[in-house]
Amino acid sequence: MKNYFLSESDKIGEECGVFGMYDFDGGDVAQSIYYGLLSLQHRGQESCGIAVSETMGPKGKVTSHKDMGLVNEAFNHDILSGMHGDIGVGHVRYSTAGSSTRENAQPLVLNYVKGTLAMAHNGNLVNAPELREELAYTGAIFQTTIDSEVIAYHIARERLNTSSVEGAVANAMKKIKGAYSLVIMSPRKLIGARDPNGFRPLVIGKRDNCYILASETCALDTIGAEYIRDVEPGEIVTISPQKGIESNRQMVGSVKCGHCIFEYIYFARPDSILDGVSVYESRIKAGRFLAQDSPVEADVVVGVPESGNCAALGYSMKSGIPYGQAFVKNQYIGRTFIKPGQKSRESSVQVKLNALKHVVDGKRVIMIDDSIVRGTTSDRIVRMLRDAGATEVHMRVSSPPFLWPCYFGTDVPAREQLIAYNRSIDDICKIIGADSLGYLKEERLEELVGHKFDICKGCFTGEYPVAPPEEDIRGEFEE
């Protein structure tokens, strides 16, 4: 058994995860939000937080706690038992814009003349710099370097001229552009909103007399809630005991949808169902397509854990080549692999993998991974398999080559850092040391979701549902 520490610099960040809950019977929700965030931990491991309020208590009183690190590191029994409130929101964060600091952790809590708002956001705005400058010149003082604060400020300002929080959210949505799934807590309402393109997922659930908003259905399963439906792109849902779930669909269908295809390839947990599509089945399809389009003779098919495993199983099903588990991943790495930025990734961010020698020794191996970003990890994994005795290593990738950056909540880097930029597949194959290399065909991406909706595949094609900024604005607010 070979033992390696691998840098995660060839993996892209898991964005963020949001969770909100309202118990109409008045029970405390902090513990359930905690378990919901645990199930969304894969979407962000840098920081996390929970904010709760008692709807029948003093108006505007919010109890919140947020910290760096994993959910089970930031919270304990004493902290949760002191967080009383029947309505609340939670967040797990991976920084794609704004540095990794406690100040940038969410939820954001705003106290203003109309009361208090707490908000959790998944995504990135493309017009945040202009909106931030506009706010700054009218006296706004910012406490963070994240575009989520820009959204919160605009909602608060719109609330001064509207009769309801949801009306303020609707007005703010007319100004902000880009990717955003929002969960907002007001003193008496829980609100969810999704950008008109539907970049990021947001689902509605119910448990007894509690209503839940979450990034993925797996979070509903974790707390024993039933899935009701997805929030539609452009929709605002308002949850209150008086009216249940109200829907504002004035922006639904206002633009072309662009669901992020990488949710299905990599980000989401395989047990989630997003917009009616099983993530697990999408990854099985990707593996089947690879076997059909990029066949090769071999003795065993293996996946790079965790997201490569389903595609490897699909490849095995289609090709008839046996599926094997060639890697064991240390599940207790904790925070060693979560730091953003190329320098820190290369120096200290490591994921420990063990190669199982008896699975690959003397065999021709097909290795499936979800992507190759910079290529700094793939060559080490290929070498690991050869050191464990593999006679051939054929790499197959369940996504097309990354050729463009992402501006909508995924930290796909600048083009110059992408291994596929200005290189042929043969060039990449030589760099990573594989015997052959095959990518998922770009035209297969729509098939992964059964052509049920339009997708965003801008990081592969350079064509985005929303016009990207003229220059890379990620991290724009840091001095």
The full length of the chain comes to 479
Torsion of CA 144, 148, 150, 155, to 10 degrees: -130
Catalytic residues: 16
Contact (CB, 8 A) for 455 and 233: no
Q: 336-364 as b/e, with b when 16 or more CB fall inside 10 Å?
A: ebbbbeeeebeeebbbbbbbbbebbeebb
Cα Rg of the chain, angstroms: 22
DSSP string, 403-429: -S---SS-----GGG-TTTT--HHHHH
Contact (CB, 8 A) for 37 and 289: no
Tokens (6 digits) for 296: 């090769």
Nearest to 206 by CA among 191, 193, 225: 225
Nearest to 145 by CA among 408, 412, 476: 476
Nearest to 423 by CA among 434, 411, 415: 415
Tokens (6 digits) for 53: 């309020």
Contact (CB, 8 A) for 190 and 239: yes
Give the DSSP H or E segment for 117.
strand 115-122
Tokens (6 digits) for 147: 């575009």
